[in-house]
Amino acid sequence: MSNASRDPELHVALIGYGKGGEVFHAPLIDAVPGLRLAAVVTGNPERARAVRERYPGAVVHPTVADLWAHADRYEIAVVTTPNDTHAPLARAALENGLDVVVDKPFALTSADARELTDLAEKLGRVLTVYQNRRWDADFLTLWGLVEEGALGRVHRFESRFERWRPQAKGTWRESGGVEAGAGLLYDLGPHLIDQAVNLFGPVSSVYAEVDTLREGVQADDDVFLALQHARGTRSHLWMSAVAAQNGPRFRVLGDAGAFTSHGMDAQEARLTAGERPDADDWGVMPESSWGVLGTEGSTRRVPSARGAYQEFYAGVRDAVGEGDPLPVDPHEVTHGLEIIEAARRSARTGSVVRLE
């Protein structure tokens, strides 16, 4: 008998407790009513101690095999482990009777993503992907402006995730190879691409410049993508670890006006500092961070929408418990992986790659 038959809360097993598990998943799960962080899988003794201190009600499983042996205690598995393990662990979780959340990137190939989606549909299980940046304050603000037509017809969307990290940290994301899912195109690319596709629809062609500039780094650390959307908008996306001065986070040009914003959504920094997303002022951005809307000589600051990463997990709860629509549809994210694959081909050949 599963816990669902005797407990109103859905029991979540979190697989992995690195930065992703500790910062981006556990606090959100713990803060959303109707979900219980019931278990964490980690074989690292320090991380296990950290779990027991912060979430004393959670069981620590030392291996995924131990989790599968007790799978009937849980309803949902969350996969937040190194990128090349996402698809295998998601498949195993589905086959063990669990609904599944997979951190980005959903998989390393679009073929693997389609296989996982087909398997979930065959088994009648919920499968969704953690694309938290859909709930960034600046993105929600921009979404509202586009929807209400404040920019008119948008012809160019510029979006950046840029950092200044001239010395590599030696983590697997930097020291590993592309075949293991390392590099910025797999790390930041899923966010930037997902936001562009959500705003302006499917992409018909891709041009990419993909570089590895720092010593001791195997995978890409400086990337530019030019996407042509089927409906006409062009998206220019930058991701870099070697940007000594950052460009605007968003610059969006339409035939009725433009929107520009700088800086990053504050939710990641607050989660990293140990704050909880149920704070009264969660997701509120100061006026100094608001974006600017208008035309040259006639602009105004636009109050930021409230950021809300926790809404993703509220959506997971409702999809699993009530059969509501998924917070993130895997088919949308699979298109993002097709774009990443096209970008790899474009960078190798120096040509524009067209998508079907």
pLDDT confidence tier of residue 4, bands split at 50, 70 and 90 = very low
User: Do residues 291 and 138 touch, judged by C-beta distance below 8 A?
Assistant: yes
What is the DSSP annotation of 40-60?
A: EE---HHHHHHHHHH-TTSEE
The predicted model gives 281-297 an average pLDDT of: 96
Model confidence at 2: pLDDT above 60: no
Euclidean distance between CA atoms 97 and 62, whole angstroms:
20
Euclidean distance between CA atoms 158 and 176, whole angstroms:
29
Could you read off the pLDDT of 148-165 as tens digits, one per residue? Answer: 999 999 999 999 999 999
Of 157, 158, 179, 204, nearest in space to 335 by CA: 204
Taking the model in full, what pTM does it have?
Answer: 0.95
Could you read off the pLDDT of 86-134 as tens digits, one per residue? Answer: 999 999 999 999 999 999 999 999 999 999 999 999 999 999 999 999 9
Token pair 């610059």 is at which residue? 251
Other Cβ atoms closer than 10 A to 19: 14
Euclidean distance between CA atoms 307 and 141, whole angstroms:
9
Average model confidence (pLDDT) across the chain: 96
pLDDT confidence tier of residue 6, bands split at 50, 70 and 90 = low
What is the DSSP annotation of 186-253?
A: HHTHHHHHHHHHHHH--EEEEEEEEE--STT--S--EEEEEEEETTS-EEEEEEESB-SS---SEEEE
Model confidence at 40: pLDDT above 60: yes
Q: Is 168 helix (H, G, I), strand (E, B) or coil?
A: coil
Q: Is 270 helix (H, G, I), strand (E, B) or coil?
A: helix
Euclidean distance between CA atoms 97 and 117, whole angstroms:
15
Of 328, 324, 252, 323, nearest in space to 292 by CA: 252
The predicted model gives 191-220 an average pLDDT of: 96
pLDDT confidence tier of residue 169, bands split at 50, 70 and 90 = confident
User: Do residues 338 and 322 touch, judged by C-beta distance below 8 A?
Assistant: no
Euclidean distance between CA atoms 131 and 309, whole angstroms:
9
**What is residue 178's predicted lDDT score, i.e. its pLDDT?**
86
User: Do residues 104 and 333 touch, judged by C-beta distance below 8 A?
Assistant: yes
Contacts 24+ apart (CB under 8 A), 348-354: 351/207, 352/205, 352/206, 352/207, 353/205, 353/206, 353/207, 354/204, 354/205
| Residues 6 or more apart in contact with residue 62 via CB below 8 angstroms | 41, 42, 43, 48
Q: Is 8 helix (H, G, I), strand (E, B) or coil?
A: coil
Tally of CA atoms within 13 A in the half-sphere of 252 that contains its CB: 29
Q: Is 36 helix (H, G, I), strand (E, B) or coil?
A: strand
H or E segment and range at residue 336: helix 330-349
